[in-house]
């Protein structure tokens, strides 16, 4: 019974992250302000800020420079870059006539960074 609950919660969380990425693409297409906010430049700035926050907190805990750098990069970079591709792929499958642009990838990545920010704040 507990395995079923764990699998269900895992599928729910993965679906929630994918839907957030797709919502980012949709909202950036619909509203120009959100499209400008979730641009490549802003997404990369937010990634750098999150990387620095995670690096300094991890370095403060472990005092190991190499471990802190790799931990910060894996913690912050993995999800937005992966979800950028997954979000654009899902949007292409949902909307058959949808043309994917580079801006959609960055919007999807920006909105998946919301979850990384929540995890950072939770720590």
Residues in the chain: 123
Q: Is the pLDDT of residue 123 over 80?
A: no
What are the tens digits of pLDDT across the range 81-113? 888 888 888 888 888 777 788 888 899 999 999
Do 116 and 50 meet the contact criterion of CB atoms below 8 Å apart?
yes
Helix or strand run (H / E) with residue 105: helix 102-122
Select from 112, 119, 98, 93 the least CA-distant residue to 43: 112
Q: What is the pLDDT of residue 93?
A: 85
Do 69 and 51 meet the contact criterion of CB atoms below 8 Å apart?
no
Reading the block at residue 77, the tokens are 């970079």
Select from 82, 101, 104, 100 the least CA-distant residue to 14: 82
Q: What is the residue extent of each domain of the chain?
A: 2-122
List, in sequence order, the alpha helices (H) in 31-101.
32-37, 40-62, 65-94
Q: What is the pLDDT of residue 62?
A: 87
Reading the block at residue 9, the tokens are 């919660």
């Amino acid at each position: 019974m507990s395995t079923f609950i764990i699998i269900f919660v895992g599928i729910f969380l993965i679906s929630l992250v994918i839907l957030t990425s797709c919502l980012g693409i949709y909202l950036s297409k619909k509203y120009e302000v959100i499209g400008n906010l979730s641009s490549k430049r802003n997404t990369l700035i937010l990634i750098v800020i999150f990387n620095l926050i995670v690096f300094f907190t991890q370095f403060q805990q472990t005092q190991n420079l190499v471990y802190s750098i790799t931990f910060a990069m894996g913690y912050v970079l993995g999800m937005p870059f992966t979800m950028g591709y997954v979000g654009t792929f899902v949007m292409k499958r949902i909307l058959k006539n949808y043309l994917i642009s580079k801006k959609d990838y960055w919007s999807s990545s920006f909105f998946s960074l919301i979850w990384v920010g929540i995890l950072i704040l939770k720590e």
